[in-house]
Amino acid sequence: MLCGLIRRIHKNMPQLMQKKLVFYFLIILAHWAHAGTLAEGKQGAVASRSALASQVGVAIMQQGGNAIDAAVAVGFALAVTYPSAGNLGGGGFMLIHTPEGVQALDFRETAPASATPNMFLDAQGQVIANSSVTTPLSSGVPGSVAGLLAAWEKYGTLPRAQIMAPAIKLAEQGFNLPADIAEQIAGHYDEFRRYPGSFKSFSHDGKPYKAGELWQQPELAGTLKLIAAKGRDGFYKGITADRLVAEVKRGHGKISHADLESYQVIWRSPIRGHYRGFDIWGMPPPSSGGVLIVQMLNMLEPLNLANPQASRSENIHAMIEAERRAYADRSEHLGDADFYPVPINQLISKTYAKKRFADFNPAKASDSEKIAAGILWSQESHETTHYSVMDKYGNAVAVTTTLNLDYGNKIMVEGAGFLLNNEMDDFAIKPGYANSFGLIGSKANAIAPRKRMLSSMSPTIVTFNGAPMLVTGSPGGSTIITTTLQVLLNVLDYHMSLDKAVAAPRVHHQWQPNKIFYEAGALNEQELLDLKNKHHTGLTLNPVPIGDANSVIKATSGFTAASDPRNLGGAAAF
């Protein structure tokens, strides 16, 4: 069956894409039978993309740390154990629930001060191919180190050196390379060979590291030790900053010492929605995730999705129609709210959702070409990783962090052991031009100095009667939002156990392109026929898994952590 699928998709595909497709299918074959991991405990729990990193988080809580201490330790550990997305050179978002309330921490990358709106266009105004993804020009000013340290400084309880010790040990002493990371490195090896730092880190005796080999990263260990000793000055100043700026300048990038020293995280008010008696907490812009998830839930809330008389295809149809409208709004109205008047309150209001979904036809699909962004009333106003942490003190942390594409732009900072991001591609580098995830932007997300690029990252916390109940989120570019939405629906509407809610096959729609992407097993023959009869077009079996929703839930008996079976992650609890 799978071989037939490969042949069907492989047909008429350019040779380069064929090679990439074969590579991705090898990864799928390696993990297809993986059941994910499930861990239960009464004290605390962690779910992440790396079993080693999850174990680090639990160990920190066993040493007396809280969920925030654990989340920071997991973040630094992922920079060692999951290099395609765990990082020091990228950025992300963090939602933190404490007994005092919910805080949103924005440590998204920023455009360098010398960035210009047309920096990726030629003299004729055309996009310079790959310039926003494969060169140092594609790198934004990294925020991950500042973000992790800011969370620890505000809410942490253990010493910084103790929090960072596990990551330093993993980098210095090494660990046996998992098969999935070895496959990733082999798949990108030709790209890594172009850059001395990358080649040095990812090769052994001139060849890519193999599964099971001891992988040590002494240069990364050195950088982590500087951060442990000096805090943010160990990264944004001194020798690490010198190395980063030198690496960027070698490729005519724009990040300067002043950009690094002036970088600041921002504590923001979280997005808050209400759905069937639960509070839904998400990230505000420059993340689009919080707004879109609440907007889509608002559109779906009047429907009885749990009605046993309704067919599954009817619910999928409704979800797709909500996604179609929300993603159209994203393209027009979402950007960095510090630079553009994003109409957040209107977009997440139930009144607007009712108006936006008024033309929903239960029997027929909408036409994406005719679904523009919603009209607002006047007012005064691919590679990522997610992990979830909860503890017995009422703390919960949702963190999504990224380099943008897997392994960023593939450029390792020589001497420092970490990769550069290619987040500048998340800006609208030209109006109407789709980025690497097929997302279209407008002036709301245009490049500007020190501006934060729009993101789909959607760390999410669900509370009930003020107490945290569920922590979830996902990587996956434009599929992050719909993955997170489906985990929420699976738990809150369909009352699935967490492992089933995370494992359930997924469907994705994002307005443009007008296609429905679905995983194997997500739609049976009758459901496909039902959707076609409703005039849905572009039904496409997705060649790779959708999302990686490592999640934690609180029940009366304690905590349950579930890693997504689509990847070799890990859940841990105690």
3-state SS of 12-38 is CCCHHHHHHHHHHHHHHHHHCCCCCCE
How far is 501 from 560, CA to CA, in rounded Å? 12
- Measure Cα distances from 442 to 78, 438, 507, 520 in Å: 33, 13, 26, 34
Supply 402's token pair. 């990224």
The rounded distance, in Å, linking the Cα atoms of 342 and 321 is 23
Residue 276 in this model has a pLDDT that exceeds 50: yes
> Does the predicted TM-score (pTM) go above 0.85?
yes
- CA 368, CA 109: separation in Å to the nearest integer? 31
Question: Is residue 74 within 8 Å of 415, Cβ to Cβ?
Answer: no
| DSSP β-ladder status, 175-176 and 214-215 | antiparallel
Percentage with pLDDT > 70 across the chain: 90
Least confident of 94-98, 360-364, 382-386: 382-386
pLDDT band of residue 27 (cuts 50, 70, 90) is: very low
Alpha-carbon distance 473 to 476, whole Å?
Answer: 10
Q: What is the DSSP letter of 303?
A: S
The pLDDT of 474-499, averaged and rounded, is: 95
> Over the stretch 324-358, which tens digit does the pLDDT of each residue have?
999 999 988 899 999 999 999 999 999 999 999 99
Measured CA to CA, the distance from residue 452 to residue 292 in angstroms comes to: 18
Residues 6+ away with beta carbon under 8 Å from 294? 271, 272, 273, 275, 280, 282, 348
Integer Cα distance of 166 and 163 in angstroms: 7
Of how many residues is the chain composed?
A: 574
Q: Is the pLDDT of residue 414 over 50?
A: yes
**Helix (H) or strand (E) run with residue 558 in it:** strand 558-562
Report how far apart, in Å, the C-alpha atoms of 544 and of each of 187, 263, 517 are.
15, 36, 10
DSSP string of 118-136, one letter each residue:
TTTB-TTSPBPTTTTTSSG
Strands 214-215 and 467-472: unpaired
310: three-class secondary structure by DSSP: coil
| Residue 556: pLDDT band with limits 50, 70, 90 | confident
Show the beta-strand stretches assigned E in 465-550. Answer: 467-472, 507-508, 516-518, 539-541
Residues in Cβ contact with 52 at an 8 Å cutoff, skipping those fewer than 6 apart = 77, 81, 170, 175, 570
pLDDT at 11: 39
Single-letter residue type at 486 = Q
Assign 443 a pLDDT band (cuts: 50, 70, 90): confident
Read off φ and ψ for residue 473, nearest 5 degrees.
160, -175
DSSP strands (E only) in 269-315: 271-275, 278-282
250 vs 411: CA distance, rounded Å: 11
Asked whether 39 and 571 are in contact (CB, 8 A), the reply is yes
SS3 content of the chain, % helix, strand, coil (to 5): 40, 20, 40
87 HSE (CA, 13 A, CB side): 38
Sheet order of strands, 91-98 included = 266-268, 101-107, 91-98, 396-404, 383-391, 44-48, 570-573
Q: What are the tens digits of pLDDT across the range 253-269?
A: 999 999 999 999 999 99
The CA distance from 425 to 447, in Å, is 10
For residue 310, what pLDDT is reported?
Answer: 81
Mean pLDDT computed over 115-134: 91
Q: Residue 531: which H helix or E strand, with range?
A: helix 525-533
Give the whole-number percent of the chain exceeding pLDDT 90.
80
Specify the DSSP class assigned to residue 426.
G
State the catalytic residues. 384
